[in-house]
Chain A
Amino acid sequence: TCPPQQALLTREEGLKYYRIMQTVRRMELKADQLYKQKIIRGFCHLYDGQEACAMGIEAGINPTDHLITAYRAHGYTFTRGVPVKEILAELTGRRGGVAKGKGGSMHMYAKNFYGGNGIVGAQVPLGAGVALACQYLGNNEICVTLYGDGAANQGQIFESFNMASLWKLPCIFICENNKYGMGTSVERASASTDYYKRGDFIPGLRVDGMDVLCVREATKFAADFCRAGKGPILMELQTYRYHGHSMSDPGVSYRTREEIQEVRSKSDPISMLKERMLSTSMASVEELKEIDVEVRKEIEDAAQFATTDPEPPLEELCNHIFHNDSPLEVRGTNPWSKLKSVS
């Protein structure tokens, strides 16, 4: 069996996907702008170009299902339910941020969304563990565990594959292959670039990650597979990122501008959806423009919040290290300075 070759898109769904993907796109571009203005500092890995992956996956699972990904996480943070202003405020390190300003770009979380993980590959065994919890609790939920083409060569990925397969865990492993692990192209990093086959004994699907409907149908298929108790399944989403690896990477020293332009003009996920909707008269140009305007406003307001919200208070530095009933004392830079830690 394999996923269906056809998908049904209703007008509501189309407009919803369009709005969400456009929001993610504009949010990432706003983050780029704020970073260049030095309002966002630190590390910032942008997701524009890959919106169809986050949207398609979310459309294929339930909000009660679980998801965990690596550091290119802003898109998933949004699709998993965090408002744009909390995402931007987290990037700027303010108290209104989703992690109270303490996590930053790579550490954003939500209900059933386990982040946001900085160390490459470390999230995959975690995802397998969440899947085990789902199996154990018998709640018919699954876990979607994402990683990239660079992480696919980490040892712990294969350890997770083995455990998930052995115990038939309801885990969808998804490799978001955007062709470059930082600056290294897949051909130079991997002995086998067929990432969907790397699961060996785990069945694998290769999916066009720029087409939101492909991603959705494949995810639905995979979710049904897992819920039926057949064990884990692997999906490779072939996608592309327009920005460099992070904001300190211009993104053109290891690939050509022509390549980026080609993907933008031929396979941009938002343009593809827009064209589909316009050519089948599911929506009018004005309607989509109106959505664009609304999205822009939402992002502007969020950016305003993110730049004006105050930073977290100094006491927060030491909070939430441990779980403690009464406040714990944290040793500081000098022997006579101690701060209280509460949780």
Chain B
Amino acid sequence: MNTICGWKVLYLHLQWCVCSIVRLSLLEIRVVLLLHSFVFGLCPGPTQKMNLFQSVTSALDNTLASDPTAVIFGEDVAFGGVFRCTVGLRDKYGKDRVFNTPLCEQGIVGFGIGLAVAGATAIAEIQFADYIFPAFDQIVNEAAKYRYRSGNLFDCGNLTIRAPWGCVGHGALYHSQSPEAFFAHCPGIKIVIPRSPVQAKGLLLSCIIDKNPCIFFEPKILYRAAVEQVPMESYQIPLSQAEVLQEGSDITLLAWGTQVHVMREVAAMAQEKLGVSCEVIDLRTIQPWDIETVCKSVVKTGRLLVSHEAPVTGGFAAEISSTVQEECFLNLEAPITRVCGYDTPFPHIFEPFYIPDKWKCFDAVKRMINY
């Protein structure tokens, strides 16, 4: 299942690179140690040390170079963007290809849909995922349904929307949200969330090439904190394929974006303190998600913990839980547990209590093992 456009997964070489979390205090994530990642695809070539925003710039650079119809637009992208994801692109490719829009999210996405339908590769930036809601109608009612309603005469597959996502330590209500669940409910769009620079570049390039409208959420806390050796040339990581980061036998820990790093710490804690062997999976594509990999893992371990920052009710973990219990009911040793944000707006001063940190997840692992 899940071979995109005839891709087979190739292990070309193991990249030992610099990306992991040393200290996950309540308010900071500092990313320093080693984590290996597998590069899927052809010819990774020479690499360069890049953080997450630089890897995004690299992906966009490759795209603008190889695709003459590609354009990047959004608020403040011309000078480089508020998170520096588009630094240098305007100077290199010209102001007709990298340009600012006024402050109008609905307009940005609507405009992007039009561009995409007419044949250009449109890469729209929404400045924070929290601001995507004025554009919600355009995404859900226009972009997602274009191909379906026109009987495949038209489509806006050339559209990719990028937005910074997730908590950042001090973002409060409107700079911390994780809205993937709202869009997962809408057939017709793909949602992708990377956990690291190497993943981000490969997944973003896949989104841009993919013939469906895609939303690419970039964990903003990792923009500077995550650093890896990233291939400078173009490469793709297949969509709708989850990645097993660490094999285990007792419990499956599933997450995406920043939370994957929390899960890795929890796995280490569980091994050390409880002797529990954890299988850690990064979902990567939220919709359509890799049901097979997750279910295979749950069949093996019998326990599933899903974790995300977004509020627990109606969060994407709910969909995963429901599907997994349908497929793997008899294999389950314990109820599927979700460790997620509270059902409140994302708080200002209470953020450290709100987020599903490693201790809450570790506690959940303990309970599931002892069920």
Chain A residues engaging chain B, CB cutoff 8 angstroms: 41-43, 93, 101-104, 106-107, 118-121, 150-151, 153-156, 181-184, 188-190, 253-254, 311-312, 314, 316-318, 321, 330-337, 339
Contacts and interface: CB of A to CB of B under 8 A. Distances in A.
Interface string B327-359: 000000001011111111101111001111000
Nearest to A318: B344
Contacts of B340: 333
Given A253-B79, A332-B342, A104 B350 contact: no
B342 A334 contact: no
B76 interface: yes
Nearest to A316: B350
Contacts of A337: 360
B367 interface: yes
Contacts of A332: 312, 342-343
A16 to B, nearest CB: 33
A321 B343 contact: yes
B247 interface: no
B172 interface: yes
Contact of B102 (A107, A118, A153, A156): A153
A182 B78 CA distance: 13
A41 B130 CA distance: 19
Given A119-B131, A155-B106, A181-B103, A102 B348 contact: yes
B32 interface: no
A131 to B, nearest CB: 22
B342 A330 contact: yes
A343 B212 CA distance: 45
B174 A118 contact: yes
Interface string B50-79: 000000000000000000000000011001
Given A42-B172, A102-B347, A317-B353, A331 B103 contact: no
A318 B343 CA distance: 8
B65 to A, nearest CB: 26
Q: Pick the most buried of B75, B104, B170, B345: most chain A CB atoms within 10 A of its CB.
A: B104
Contacts of B335: 335
Top 3 A-B pairs, shortest CB-CB distance: A93-B349, A153-B102, A118-B174
27 contacts: A41-B169, A43-B170, A93-B349, A103-B348, A104-B349, A119-B174, A155-B104, A184-B100, A189-B103, A314-B350, A314-B353, A316-B350, A317-B350, A317-B353, A317-B354, A318-B342, A321-B343, A331-B343, A333-B340, A333-B342, A333-B355, A334-B363, A334-B364, A335-B335, A335-B337, A335-B338, A339-B342
A104 B348 contact: yes
Contacts of A151: 103
Contacts of B337: 334-335
A165 to B, nearest CB: 21
B190 interface: no
B171 interface: yes
A312 B11 CA distance: 52
B339 A104 contact: no
Contacts of A334: 337, 339, 360, 363-364
A179 B347 CA distance: 32
Contact of A42 (B338, B342, B348, B353): B348
A121 B107 contact: no
B167 to A, nearest CB: 12
A190 B169 CA distance: 34
Contacts of A104: 172-173, 348-349
B350 A43 contact: no
Contacts of B350: 102, 312, 314, 316-317
A120 B103 contact: yes
A320 to B, nearest CB: 9
A333 B348 contact: no
Nearest to A71: B174
Contact of A41 (B100, B170, B355): B170
B91 to A, nearest CB: 15
B175 interface: yes
B342 A331 contact: yes
A312 B342 contact: no
Nearest to A332: B342
Contacts of B175: 43
Nearest to A40: B170
B328 to A, nearest CB: 18
Contact of A333 (B76, B134, B312, B313): B312
Given A93-B349, A150-B103, A189-B100, 7 more contacts: A41-B170, A93-B348, A103-B348, A314-B350, A318-B344, A335-B338, A337-B360
A107 B342 contact: no
Contacts of A184: 75-76, 100, 102
Q: Pick the most buried of A189, A331, A332, A336: most chain B CB atoms within 10 A of its CB.
A: A332
A337 B133 CA distance: 30
A330 B335 CA distance: 20
Q: Pick the most buried of B103, B130, B349: most chain A CB atoms within 10 A of its CB.
A: B349
Contacts of B171: 42-43
B29 to A, nearest CB: 16
Interface string B294-314: 000000000000000000110
B103 A153 contact: yes
Contacts of A42: 170-172, 348
A199 B345 CA distance: 34
Nearest to A155: B106
Nearest to A42: B170
A254 B76 CA distance: 11
B104 A153 contact: yes
A182 B102 CA distance: 11
A102 B175 CA distance: 15
Nearest to A97: B349
Contacts of A118: 173-174
B313 A331 contact: yes
B107 A102 contact: no
Interface in B306-327: 312-313
A317 B103 contact: no
A23 B356 CA distance: 41
Nearest to A101: B349
B170 A183 contact: no
Contact of B348 (A101, A153, A331): A101
Interface in B279-294: none
